[in-house]
């Protein structure tokens, strides 16, 4: 069955109006599985993840995530109600990434109805925003059973531009030690202030060399994102810490970046996470050519934001979907109605062009 525009808007509304914060996606997974089953799809569950297959031909995987972050402060509309105002569809997850989910489901059901021209897998996962039971669980399971697609599309709001590469993420903890004492006595005692030491290290890191520029991804970046110190207003802190968020490129390894940070600071540096590496797709791959054919004016670019694309590292994978990344995780998140329908048209066209590219 081919979904009409009215069907697609109703499906998107169902997705938005079923709350699905990370770790609380069960209800939405049930509804998605039921929706696909009622349309004739064979559906299986991998934990909270939903997987379905349809058609025959080259294998293409369409995947996106069901979960959302909590509502940001400042919402002026009910976040779990789809509110249409003019051309805009407001609601938590409407843009990130339930527009991609709805559009991919519509394209998948076309393949189901016509029996091809690809063997399309649809993988809708939990815990993309936080957690490890989504793609990290489902993708290895598909590989173990031998279902290896020739092309993968990760649905995220990219304005339907084609992300052929994605930065990695390195998280470091920077710490400093001091001498706890009454603040009035600190100068006389020569007490070390951990907060001052941490501040000096953070300033020093403004001059860190993070390597040369990558042609697709630009430069590695470092941003302090959280800091903590002290227990009382009148007490010199004995410990201070800050989190460093590095968005990485292939130019330097996580180990080398960590070494360069350590060389510039006096405090301690601990690696919290280094497993999310940068990834890139061969720009001559069939999935890239097919996406460009389906949307000739789309630009190819390297994405600085993290997504499940990282878990498909080494595969022919792109990130592409309706909506604008700048609206993700914001109050009064929205997607344009036209963007949603354009996403459906894109994925439908991609199915056809991917089959043609692989067979060619």
What DSSP string describes 96-134?
TTHHHHHHHHHHHHHHHHHT-SSEEEEEEES-SSS-SSS
Q: Please give the residue range of the domain that contains residue 53.
A: 5-166+278-359
Q: Is residue 318 a contact partner of residue 86, using CB atoms and an 8 Å limit? A: no
CA distance 311 to 334: 27
Q: Are residues 247 and 319 in the same domain?
A: no
Q: Are residues 78 and 97 in the same domain?
A: yes
Candidates 310, 312, 302, 210; CA nearest to 251 is 210
Contacts of 172 (CB under 8 A, 6+ apart): 243, 244, 246, 258, 261, 269, 270, 271, 272
The pLDDT value recorded for residue 258 is 98
Q: Are residues 9 and 139 in the same domain?
A: yes
Q: Are residues 139 and 194 in the same domain?
A: no
Q: Are residues 106 and 159 in the same domain?
A: yes
Q: Are residues 284 and 349 in the same domain?
A: yes
Whole-Å CA distances, 138 to 40, 58, 123, 124, 350: 22, 20, 8, 9, 23
> At 146, which CATH number?
3.40.630.10
The pLDDT value recorded for residue 343 is 98
Q: How many domains does the chain have?
A: 2
Pinpoint the alpha helices (H) of the chain: 5-16, 26-38, 98-114, 135-144, 186-189, 194-204, 254-264, 286-294, 337-359
For the chain, 360 residues long, give each residue's pLDDT as a single digit of tens: 799 999 999 999 999 999 999 999 999 999 999 999 999 999 999 999 999 999 999 999 999 999 999 999 999 999 999 999 999 999 999 999 999 999 999 999 999 999 999 999 999 999 999 988 999 999 999 999 999 999 999 999 999 999 999 999 999 999 999 999 999 999 999 999 999 999 999 999 999 999 999 999 999 999 999 999 999 999 999 999 999 999 999 999 999 999 999 999 999 999 999 999 999 999 999 999 999 999 999 999 999 999 999 999 999 999 999 999 999 999 999 999 999 999 999 999 999 999 999 998
Q: Are residues 41 and 101 in the same domain?
A: yes
Q: Token pair for residue 44?
A: 């299986």
Block residue for tokens 């509304």: 13
Q: Are residues 80 and 178 in the same domain?
A: no
The pLDDT value recorded for residue 105 is 98
> At 234, which CATH number?
3.30.70.360
Q: Are residues 173 and 264 in the same domain?
A: yes
Q: Is residue 64 a contact partner of residue 288, using CB atoms and an 8 Å limit? A: no
Q: Are residues 144 and 263 in the same domain?
A: no
Q: Are residues 271 and 283 in the same domain?
A: no
């Amino acid at each position: 069955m081919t979904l009409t525009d009215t069907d697609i808007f109703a499906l998107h509304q169902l997705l938005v109006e079923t709350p699905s914060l990370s770790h609380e996606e069960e209800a939405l997974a049930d509804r998605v599985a039921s929706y696909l089953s009622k349309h004739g799809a064979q559906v299986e569950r991998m934990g909270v993840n939903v997987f379905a297959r349809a058609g025959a031909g080259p294998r293409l995987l369409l995947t996106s995530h069901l979960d959302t972050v909590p509502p940001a402060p400042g919402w002026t509309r009910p976040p779990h109600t789809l509110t249409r105002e003019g051309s805009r569809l407001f609601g938590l997850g409407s843009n990130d990434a339930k527009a991609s989910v709805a559009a991919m489901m519509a394209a998948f059901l076309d393949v189901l109805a016509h029996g091809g021209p690809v063997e399309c897998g649809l993988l809708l996962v939990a815990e993309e925003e936080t957690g490890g039971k989504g793609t990290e669980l489902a993708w290895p399971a598909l590989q173990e059973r031998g279902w290896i697609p020739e092309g993968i599309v990760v649905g995220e709001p990219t304005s339907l531009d084609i992300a052929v590469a994605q930065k990695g993420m390195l998280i470091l903890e920077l710490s400093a030690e001091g001498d706890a004492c009454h603040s009035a006595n600190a100068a006389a005692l020569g007490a070390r202030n951990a907060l001052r030491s941490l501040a000096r290290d953070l300033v020093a890191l403004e001059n860190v060399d993070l390597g040369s520029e990558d042609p697709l991804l630009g430069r590695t970046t470092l941003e302090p994102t959280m800091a903590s110190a002290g227990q009382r207003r009148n007490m010199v802190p004995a410990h201070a810490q800050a989190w460093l968020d590095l968005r990485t490129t292939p130019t330097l390894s996580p180990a080398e970046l960590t070494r360069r940070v350590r060389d510039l600071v006096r405090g301690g540096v601990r690696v919290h996470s280094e497993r999310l590496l940068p990834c890139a797709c061969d720009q001559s791959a069939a999935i890239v050519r097919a996406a460009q054919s389906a949307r000739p004016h789309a630009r190819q670019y390297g994405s600085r934001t993290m997504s499940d694309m990282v878990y498909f590292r080494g595969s022919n994978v792109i990130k592409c979907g309706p909506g604008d990344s700048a609206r993700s995780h914001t109050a009064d998140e929205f997607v344009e109605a036209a963007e949603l329908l354009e996403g459906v048209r894109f994925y439908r066209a991609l199915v056809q062009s991917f089959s043609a590219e692989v067979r060619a």
